[in-house]
Structure 1
Amino acid sequence: MSYELRQVFASLPQMERGVAKVIGGDPKGNNFLYTNGKCVIIRNIHNPAIADIYTEHAHSVSVAKYAPSGFYIASGDVSGKIRIWDTTQKEHLLKYEYTPISGKVKDIAWTEDSKRIAVVGDGREKFGAVFLWDSGSSVGSISGHSKLINSVDIRQKRPYRMVTGADDSSGSFFEGPPFKFKFSIRDHSQFVNCVRFSPDGSHFATASADGQILIFDGGNGERVSSLGGDKAHKGGIYAVSWSPDSSQLISASGDKTVKLWDVGAGTAVTTFNMGNEVADQQLGCLWQNDYLLSISLTGYINYLDKNNPDRPIRTIKGHSKSIQCVTIHRSDGRPYIYTGSHDGHINIWDAETGENDCFSGKGHSNQVSKMVVNVADEVVTCSMDDTARYTSINKKDYSASDVVKMASQPKSISAAQGGLTLVVCIGQVVLLKNKQNVFTLDNLGYEPEVGALDPAGSTAAIGGADGTIRLYSVQGNTLKDEGKTIQARGAITDMAYSNNGAYLAVIDDKKVATVFCVTDGYSLKNEFYGHHAKPVTLAWAPDNEHFATGGMDMMVFIWTVDDADKRLRLQDCHKLHHVSGLSWIDANTLVTTSHDASVKQWTIKY
């Protein structure tokens, strides 16, 4: 048995209200990059479904930038650490590591020869540093600010000039190398969020929370003009990005617009209206070749269309928070992946192309804990908002009527024929039929953890924290306890019937997977050992001969029902977090999700 990674659907950038997000561009024009948690995500700008994830930081990464040569990336985290690593090889070998400042890194800039790096952010004794990338030795000092520095840029031609913008409402202008402070720019009345030189080095722009964009001479730092008169935007401006020919730039603002400016005339050529919700605030932007990108507060990445400013060419959706569960459904023969996240968001992915979208309307208000697809082509979900929901796959929008309120928080959900849904909540088990609560088991004498209906809907298996699985027969609208139990090694963490109903697989907190033979009165078929930490999720392969388990040990095992020794181990599926969900597209394709907010597809060969 063998495996290989087939595809990665990456997470969105992690956003914070009122905080600018830096997107880095590849000097060759193929990729762009951003950060989420401890990951740096590199995506292909032509086909964003092609992605690579760098996971070597020990703390949350705040910014990453390509070297002008394109061979290296420098990424900085909240502890002040900078890692410089190789982009040409898959392993992304670390070249150098430094800690130039003692707090969060907010921005990074390289000189055009890819030899010197400027790093700015928060710190105790200083807010920035400039050094040689290969030795770490200083090539100047960054001074002139009394509060944390948000942004830095270096002119991409000699003589070098450097500019910074900070929370003290000022900018600073430096000459070098070695870089020396020349003067402060005190033309803004609020935080300076972004400073950027034009590609030809003739000008630089400063953008501030006061809604102004000011243009300065790139050589001597003298003020030239302000875009749009007194105010460029009605809200604070978080980012600007120049066009490749240095004649135009785009700006992203909290007023929910992105504007395209003719710098010479000082006027806005186009205004891109991104919506009217708080979530439509624009916190980052990038102009790369013919592509204009902006990032919304939701983390959605918008490809802007100059010819149709009110509608982006495409919007990349996905998750910016941890994914908790996953399920697969086929529509017209095409497989689609459904994922539910910590913030209540459900995303739909075309498994072949990576194109994605989400249900419209108001859905869950809290973590989606479990999800399944029923025979009526509905995604059935349960959430920490104490509801179970039915969402039509064909309509793709949340229905206000198809919500069932639970008396306590649901943890597990299972569906079967006959319109049946089994919901296991804290302290009780609820049977739903045709979206109505028809039966509740409470005062159980044990704590139910997970439930599974067999495919025919005739038996409900309830796994308890006491390691016992109780089998109830489904009779009409009731669950009847006939006193039949089976025993696992420890507290049940997940379980599922095989697709043909022949087996019941169970995992527990004693790191054991157990398969029972249903047709033989739930006799023990096999026990499977291998996980080093608690397994938390399992999924049957369509062939009913294999099943996968994922655990807190970051590992996924694929087991063969008839032979406990015949197994495949997928190590470090998601390097930083355990696998939170598993589902099969077909007998040879496994989907894994994790708290790193990414979705991966693996090809399995037996």
Structure 2
Amino acid sequence: MSYELKHVFASLPQMERGVAKVLGGDPKGNNFLYTNGKSVIIRNINNPAIADIYTEHPHQVTVAKYAPSGFYIASGDVSGKIRIWDTTQKEHLLKYEYQPFGGKIKDIAWTEDSKRIACVGEGREKFGAVFLWDTGSSVGEISGHSKVINSVDIKQTRPYRLISGSDDNCGAFFEGPPFKFKFSIADHSRFVNCVRFSPDGNRFCTAGADGQIFLYDGKTGEKICALGGAKAHEGGVYAVSWSPDSSQLISASGDKTVKLWDVGTSTALTTFNMGADVMDQQLGCLWQKDHLLSVSLSGYINYLDKSNPDRPLRTIKGHSKSIQSLTVHKNGGRSYIYSGSHDGHINILSLGGGHTGENNDFSGKGHSNLVTKMAVDDADQLVTCSMDDTVRFTKWGCGLSVLDDVNIDCVWDGSQVVFLKDKKKVFTLDSLDYEPEAGAIHPGGSTAAVGGADGKVRLYSVQGNTLKDEGKSVEAKGPVTDMAYSKDGAYLAVTDEKKVVTVFTVADNYSVKNDFYGHHAKVVTLAWSPDNEHFASGGMDMMVYVWTVNDADKRLKIPDAHRLHHVSGLAWIDEHTLVTTSHDASVKQWTLKF
């Protein structure tokens, strides 16, 4: 038995309102970088379905930047640690680790020879540092600011210059190395969010929360002009990125637009209108070869189209918050992966038909809270259950997904089991003497199994529109966490907090077929293979096991399926393809061989 990781459908950037998102670009122009939680995500710019995730930071990562050589990436986290790691090997081996200051790192810049690194942020004792990449020894001092430094950049041509931008409304200009403070730039009236040198080093710009973008001489720091006259944008400007030939730049703003500027005339050539919703605020951008990218507050990554500024060429969707539930569905020769996240967002990933990993989401009003469970019913409707006390039925229509607005209070709320039929609540079991934690209905429709926090699985008889308690129950090894019948209805598998999966044989009066041991922590989710001979379980130990029903010792172990995060969802596309989700907000597709 063996496994292979076939696809990683990566999370979106983790966004925060009013906080700029720094995107990193590969010097060869193939990939781009961003962060989410403790992960650094590397995505192929031409095919974003190709992704790699770096998960070695113990704390939330805030920024990652390629070295100009392209061989290394430096990433910084909220604790002030900088990790410099290899990009050429699959293992991303750590080269060096430093702690230039204690506190959140907000931006990183390299010198063009890939030998010196500047980093800035919210240090307790200082707000920035410049050091040699191979020894960590200081090559100057970043001073001159009285508050958090948001942004830093280094001129990519000699003589070297360094600029920084801070919450004290000022920029600072440094000469070096060793880098020494020369003067402050006090042209902004609010926070300076982003500072960037042009690739040729002739100019640099500063962008602020006051909607202003100023241009300066790259060598002397002398002010040249303000882009767009009095104001570049109606809202705060969070990010700027230069064109490779240094003649143009793009700027991303809270006014929900991205602008393309001609630097020579200081006028906007194009305004990209990104929408009217608050989630359409633009907090990051990157000019990478021919690609112009921007990031919305929603986390969506937009590929801008100069010839059609009101409609991006493509928008990369997905999850930016932890995924809590998962199901798969086949329709018209294609497989669809549905996943639901902590913030109520439901994503659709379509596979096959030439679309490997095309993300979409539902139109209409969705859930407002954590999506706990999802399944596809006999009418090909997606049924989702959420902590917002609703169950929703979603149907396909005209190639788009439209929500059927059916709201039902609480499927269970600690002491209730609610039985739904034809989108209606038809029966309720309440005043229970146990806490229901999980449920499953036999494929034949005759039995409803409900697992409790007391470790018992109660077997209710389905009679028309009611559930009848005939006093039948079976025992799990501990408090029940999840349960599912095999597709043919022959077995019921139950997971529990005591790290065990128990499989019962339905036809033999629910006698125990096998107990499956292997997890090192609470088992939280399980899913049956379409062949009814295997099932997968996922636990708080970050492991996935694929078990053989008739032989508890014949198992396939996938350790660190989602590193640093437990597995939250499992689903099978076919007998040899397993899908996993996790709190790292990514979806992974595995190929299994038995």
Q: Which residue type is aligned with residue 578 of structure 1?
A: H
Q: Which residue type is aligned with residue 373 of structure 1?
A: V
Distance 1:447 1:184 in 2: 63
Q: Is residue 490 of structure 2 the alignment partner of residue 502 of structure 1?
A: yes
**1:520 aligns to what SS in structure 2?**
coil
Contact 1:462/1:471 (CA < 8 Å) preserved in 2? yes
Distance 2:35 2:153 in 1: 19
Q: Shift in Å at residue 488 of structure 1?
A: 1.2
Show the counterpart of 1:306: 306
Q: Shift in Å at residue 394 of structure 1?
A: 4.0
Show the counterpart of 2:377: 374
Distance 1:31 1:402 in 2: 43
Show the counterpart of 1:114: 114
2:513 to 509, 522, 525: 525
Show the counterpart of 1:403: 407
Deviation per residue, 1:440-482 (Å, 9 max, x gap):
0011211111110011211101111111111111111000111
Q: Is residue 249 of structure 2 the alignment partner of residue 249 of structure 1?
A: yes
**1:403 aligns to what SS in structure 2?**
coil
Show the counterpart of 2:463: 475
Distance 2:112 2:209 in 1: 29
TM-score relative to the length of structure 1 = 0.96
1:599 to 563, 566, 587: 587
**1:399 aligns to what SS in structure 2?**
strand
Distance 1:109 1:491 in 2: 51
Q: Counterparts of 1:83-482 in structure 2 under 5 Å? A: 83-352=83-352, 353-394=356-397, 396-399=400-403, 401-406=405-410, 423-482=411-470
**1:279 aligns to what SS in structure 2?**
helix
Distance 1:13 1:150 in 2: 18
Q: Which residue type is aligned with residue 116 of structure 1?
A: R
Q: Which residue type is aligned with residue 435 of structure 1?
A: K
Show the counterpart of 1:69: 69
Q: Shift in Å at residue 115 of structure 1?
A: 0.2
1:543 to 517, 531, 540: 531
Q: Shift in Å at residue 398 of structure 1?
A: 4.6
Q: Which residue type is aligned with residue 18 of structure 1?
A: G
**2:507 aligns to what SS in structure 1?**
helix
Q: Shift in Å at residue 279 of structure 1?
A: 0.4
Q: Shift in Å at residue 401 of structure 1?
A: 2.8
Deviation per residue, 1:256-304 (Å, 9 max, x gap):
0000000100100000000011100000000000000000001000000
Distance 2:397 2:359 in 1: 15
Contact 2:363/2:403 (CA < 8 Å) preserved in 1? no
Distance 2:551 2:489 in 1: 19
Q: Shift in Å at residue 523 of structure 1?
A: 1.6
Show the counterpart of 1:489: 477
Distance 1:528 1:578 in 2: 19
Deviation per residue, 1:114-163 (Å, 9 max, x gap):
00000111112211011100001111111110001000000001000111
Distance 2:276 2:47 in 1: 28
Show the counterpart of 1:512: 500
Q: Which residue type is aligned with residue 566 of structure 1?
A: K
Distance 2:279 2:395 in 1: 25
Q: Which residue type is aligned with residue 569 of structure 1?
A: K
Contact 2:392/2:404 (CA < 8 Å) preserved in 1? no
Contact 1:363/1:398 (CA < 8 Å) preserved in 2? no
Contact 1:539/1:583 (CA < 8 Å) preserved in 2? yes
Contact 2:130/2:139 (CA < 8 Å) preserved in 1? yes
Distance 1:377 1:400 in 2: 13
Distance 2:234 2:95 in 1: 44
**2:188 aligns to what SS in structure 1?**
coil
Q: Is residue 567 of structure 2 the alignment partner of residue 563 of structure 1?
A: no
Contact 2:527/2:571 (CA < 8 Å) preserved in 1? yes
Q: Shift in Å at residue 387 of structure 1?
A: 0.8
Show the counterpart of 1:415: none
Distance 1:428 1:88 in 2: 54
Q: Which residue type is aligned with residue 592 of structure 2?
A: I
Q: Which residue type is aligned with residue 379 of structure 2?
A: A
Q: Which residue type is aligned with residue 27 of structure 2?
A: P
Deviation per residue, 1:210-261 (Å, 9 max, x gap):
1010000011010111110010000000000000010000000000000000
Q: Counterparts of 1:29-48 in structure 2 under 5 Å? A: 29-48=29-48
What runs of 5+ residues in structure 2 fail to find an aligned partner?
none
**1:119 aligns to what SS in structure 2?**
strand
Contact 1:424/1:450 (CA < 8 Å) preserved in 2? no
Distance 1:548 1:212 in 2: 55
1:574 to 543, 553, 562: 562
**1:519 aligns to what SS in structure 2?**
coil
Contact 2:362/2:403 (CA < 8 Å) preserved in 1? no
Distance 1:262 1:298 in 2: 28
Distance 2:510 2:125 in 1: 67
Q: Shift in Å at residue 424 of structure 1?
A: 3.8
Distance 1:511 1:103 in 2: 38
Q: Which residue type is aligned with residue 378 of structure 1?
A: Q
Deviation per residue, 1:372-400 (Å, 9 max, x gap):
11111111111110111111144644536
Deviation per residue, 1:391-421 (Å, 9 max, x gap):
1144644536322223xxxxxxxxxxxxxxx
Distance 2:434 2:193 in 1: 55
**CA RMSD of superposed structures (Å):** 0.9
Aligned residue pair count: 590
Contact 1:539/1:584 (CA < 8 Å) preserved in 2? yes
Q: Shift in Å at residue 425 of structure 1?
A: 3.5
Residue identity (%): 76
Distance 2:577 2:2 in 1: 12
Q: Which residue type is aligned with residue 387 of structure 1?
A: T
**1:228 aligns to what SS in structure 2?**
coil
Distance 1:397 1:350, change over 3 A: closer
Distance 1:324 1:31 in 2: 29
**1:405 aligns to what SS in structure 2?**
coil
Q: Shift in Å at residue 348 of structure 1?
A: 0.2
Distance 2:446 2:392 in 1: 22
Contact 1:214/1:227 (CA < 8 Å) preserved in 2? yes
